[in-house]
Amino acid sequence: MGISSFYRGALAAAALFIPLTALATPIEIVALTDGEHPASLGGYALTPFDAPDDGMHSCTESHTGEELCFEDYYGNSVELLANDPYWWEYDGVSASPDHGNIFVVHNENWIDLILPPETRSLAVFVGASDRGHAWIQAHDAAGNSTSREYFGVDENDTRGYGIYSTGCAALTRVTVEPWEWGFGFLASNEGECRSVPEPGSLWLFGVGLVGLGLVHRFRRKTAILR
């Protein structure tokens, strides 16, 4: 009887664990391929930031009036020059959109974008004055982090990336790490969680419900036999 109880308990625990894992809050990073930020990302509408004024900035304001700030590898605040250099353009198939002023980075190959509260999605473009390699990584309030997304940049190849939460944990930080470069043309969504579980998560949740059903049926059968 002790063994039967053990197996019943183990099955119930497994059935509960599966749907709980389906509720994890990962982060997605996707390439933006047309030189513009999309109208929405991950189900969240994006609103562009205003292009920054010329001069030095340690933060920039989103459309909600909240600040997105810049830090170095050590967590120190960094001032960046807002400018419109010759190399800041997207070399598209049919057009090269004007992205306006961006934040030019000198002598720093690591910048953390500290995001406004309740950021659910973000679009950012990265360019450079010479050919080089870079990566981007995102983090959320639940302690999740993406793997590093590696890409190349040069004066004719500004890259855009969209980052969004697929759960309800707000994005908190995005790290970009090239060399002699710049970033900008920002857009974001800062609001309430509206995410819907992805198909894989729904499938896992269904499997969990089936497991719970089996546990209930097993218990009824055992009670009848007694």
* Assigned CATH for 26-194: 2.60.120
DSSP H helices, the chain, are 2-22, 199-225
Domain locations in the chain as residue ranges: 1-23+197-226, 26-194
The answer to whether 219 and 8 have CB atoms below 8 angstroms apart is yes
- E strands, the chain, are 27-32, 40-41, 44-45, 47-48, 55-57, 59-61, 67-71, 80-83, 102-105, 111-128, 132-140, 149-153, 159-165, 171-176, 181-190
**Residue 40: partners with Cβ closer than 8 Å, 6 or more residues away:** 46, 121
Asked whether 53 and 111 are in contact (CB, 8 A), the reply is no
pLDDT of residue 97: 67
User: With 0-12 CB in 10 A as exposed, 13-18 as middle and 19+ as buried, what is 224?
Assistant: exposed
- The predicted pLDDT at position 204 comes to 44
pTM: 0.75
Q: How far apart are CA 153 and CA 94, in angstroms?
A: 19
Q: What are the pLDDT digits (tens) for 61-103?
A: 999 999 999 999 999 999 999 998 888 876 654 446 677 889 9
pLDDT score recorded for residue 154:
83
Both tokens assigned to 55: 């001069």
Asked if residue 218 has pLDDT above 90, the reply is: no
95-128: pLDDT as tens digits: 466 778 899 998 889 999 999 999 999 999 998 9
In whole angstroms, what is the distance from residue 8 CA to residue 201 CA? 25
pLDDT band of residue 217 (cuts 50, 70, 90) is low
